[in-house]
Structure 1
Amino acid sequence: MTNAPAGSPESARLGGVVPPVCTPLTPDMEVDVASLERLVGHLLDAGVDGLFVLGSTSEVAFLPDGHRRTVLETVVKHVSGQVPVLGGAIDMTTLRVIEHARVAAEVGCDGIVATAPFYTRTHPLEVERHLRAVAASVAVPVYAYDLPVSVHTKLDGAMLLRLAAEGVLAGVKDSSGDDGGMRTLILRLREAGTDGFSVLTGSELTVDAAVALGVDGVVPGLGNVDPAGYVRLYGHSRAGRWDEARAEQERLLRLFDIVNAGATDRMGRGSSALGSFKTALHLLGVIECPVTAPPQIQLDAAETERVRLLLAAAGLL
């Protein structure tokens, strides 16, 4: 949660460092429950403020429904109420998303995260209808996920303001890269006196700047690898220790180069990024196997060595 005083209107607002949890897999493509539990412990020990499971970094688009449920049940059980757990209900259309949302709520998630519909072409009014329907289907808070690079729809700021004011949505994870739009949303929320709506940035390389703009928290994929670094960065930024925040952000920016470990002539950037996170976690002894779900390509020995060198340079090995 945010650092607002207990009992204040902002004290219920989700904030801080909320990593999107990787999904460890076995070589035969089952969920590696033991590794997932170790990863959750790794994150909790670092002092994170929440966990987001079944998002992009969790490989949600690659996982069958049975895998999704196993991930949700494992994380909720292992966390045991220590921090909020958000469950991604990511799918193409409203009825499918509602089904995922109900499963996540049933297993005990504290909130649901949903994108706009995708694959089908939608009008802004249909996107709003979709988010309203998802929110009405569960008794836990729903957070919108602004991810135009994957769903090809940018969430409308006026719609988010409207759904925030009505209490339909509890917040937004902004991975749009539109810092101007995010800043405008924060300003309009403040001007409207809308309390309890969280703005979380998915832009993990500009956390210090985003906190200065007024975001409530960060959802960093690299936070799987170095959660303590993001906890320090967020703490420095919230306290106005800008020199320390800048130094920590720049260290993490250099570490983030692991996402480029995979050769561009043989794999996509998603394979490289997700593979590098898992490879780093494997090298750190957190997960048993760095495999990613098909059709993604795995890192080879030379690419793994590049990840190892960057971990060492960041002080993690």
Structure 2
Amino acid sequence: MSLTAPLHGVVPPVCTPLDSQGEVDTSSLARLVEHLVAGGVHGLFALGSTSEVAYLTDEQRSTALETVVNVADGRVPVLAGVIDTTTPRVVEHARSAAELGADALVATAPFYTRTHGKEIAQHFRRLRAAVDLPLFAYDIPVAVHSKLSAALVRELAEDGTLAGLKDSSGDEGGLRRLLVELGGRDGRKEGPAPRFSVLTGSELTVDAALLAGVDGVVPGIGNVDPAGYVRLYDAARAGNWALAAKEQERLVELFGMVDVGPEADMGRSSSALGSFKAALHLLGIIECGDTAFPQIRLNAESVGLVAQRLRAAGLPPVR
């Protein structure tokens, strides 16, 4: 389908269900896509961090993206993560994503080696020139060790290189400064980049970000409760900030599942991704809660804590 510009609403980063052998479980992934679309989401982001993109082979990336595109079947736009270390590798992923039917691309700055702002600008411009799809920048300095400045983002928005930005920096002040740079809450439509879309990846402060002027959210836990984030978004759009805050607070409690894995046994990413997959398994959406190797799977006690969070949020497990 044609990508709505600017992109708005709830665009979950789609988990990648795996089978017991570590391969992409396309049947479970298809059910997950249907679960998200039924929840009213406005788009799907395949092959992002929550999709475990960094752990997947190129063949697995293609399998996952092709499945998401085919099952979505034009009902919502599909954004494809083309995340890799260097520009030539990112361009290869972008060309593959275009062939598989993605509606837009999502890329980080180059990483492994540190890059200057001018090099980052060249990276995004070359990618946009190589593949004629809307391009979204993914600002996630914890992973790539570069923070996209507001001035750089504005420059790339104004010249048409970027169609939008997913902000996963965790820097709420920086996000607000970017919105002001782009024209402010009430001036975005007439600002320097009126068709530029800003999406927050900070799922715990979505109501505040929407009040500040972002266009939408990319919530990892939106895999588990997409309808909850849609209700939050709809309430905010209607100006019902009390209802938006109430829904946000419920989702904050649900999000507590990301810490169920014991810190002595696993990293925080393993715990978070494992909790999402455990929840999806408990809800009967995916068959297996395994995360990609070498991440450690949640133990039975941790899965039990996930089940408690689900019930408290009004999402009773079926398993």
Q: Does residue 261 of structure 2 align to residue 262 of structure 1?
A: yes
Q: Give the root-mean-square deviation of aligned CA atoms.
A: 1.3
Q: Is the Cα contact below 8 Å between 2:5 and 2:197 reproduced in 1?
A: no
One-letter identity of the residue aligned with 1:147? I
Where does residue 103 of structure 2 map in the other structure? Answer: 110
Give the whole-Å Cα distance in 1 for the aligned partners of 2:231 and 2:201: 17
Where does residue 209 of structure 1 map in the other structure? Answer: 208
Deviation at 1:188, TM superposition (A): 2.0
Give the whole-Å Cα distance in 2 for the aligned partners of 1:127 and 1:185: 17
Residue 256 of structure 1 aligns to a residue in which SS?
helix
Q: Does residue 188 of structure 2 align to residue 189 of structure 1?
A: no
Q: Does residue 79 of structure 2 align to residue 86 of structure 1?
A: yes
Q: What is the CA deviation profile of residues 126-182 of structure 1, one whole-angstrom value per residue up to 9, with x for unaligned ones? A: 111111111111111000000001111101211110110111100000001112221
Matched residues, number: 309
Where does residue 198 of structure 1 map in the other structure? Answer: 197
Deviation at 1:183, TM superposition (A): 1.5
> Following superposition of structure 1 onto structure 2, how do residues 1-317 of structure 1 map, counting pairs within 5 Å?
12-190=5-183, 192-317=191-316
Instruction: State the TM-score, normalized to the length of structure 1.
Output: 0.96
Give the whole-Å Cα distance in 1 for the aligned partners of 2:47 and 2:259: 23
Deviation at 1:12, TM superposition (A): 2.2
Q: What is the CA deviation profile of residues 254-288 of structure 1, one whole-angstrom value per residue up to 9, with x for unaligned ones? A: 00010001000000001000000000000000000
Q: Is the Cα contact below 8 Å between 2:151 and 2:181 reproduced in 1?
A: no
Mean Cα displacement is larger for which, 114-123 or 87-96? 114-123
Instruction: State the TM-score, normalized to the length of structure 2.
Output: 0.95
Mean Cα displacement is larger for which, 114-123 or 40-49? 114-123
Give the whole-Å Cα distance in 2 for the aligned partners of 1:304 and 1:186: 39
Deviation at 1:24, TM superposition (A): 0.1
Residue 12 of structure 1 aligns to a residue in which SS?
coil
Residue 13 of structure 2 aligns to a residue in which SS?
coil
Residue 112 of structure 2 aligns to a residue in which SS?
coil
Distance 1:193 1:119, change over 3 A: closer
Give the whole-Å Cα distance in 2 for the aligned partners of 1:123 and 1:139: 25
Deviation at 1:193, TM superposition (A): 3.6
Give the whole-Å Cα distance in 2 for the aligned partners of 1:261 and 1:14: 33
Residue 304 of structure 1 aligns to a residue in which SS?
helix
% of aligned pairs identical?
A: 62
Structure 1 runs not aligned, ≥5 long: 2-10
Give the whole-Å Cα distance in 2 for the aligned partners of 1:258 and 1:277: 8
Residue 74 of structure 2 aligns to a residue in which SS?
coil
One-letter identity of the residue aligned with 1:97? V
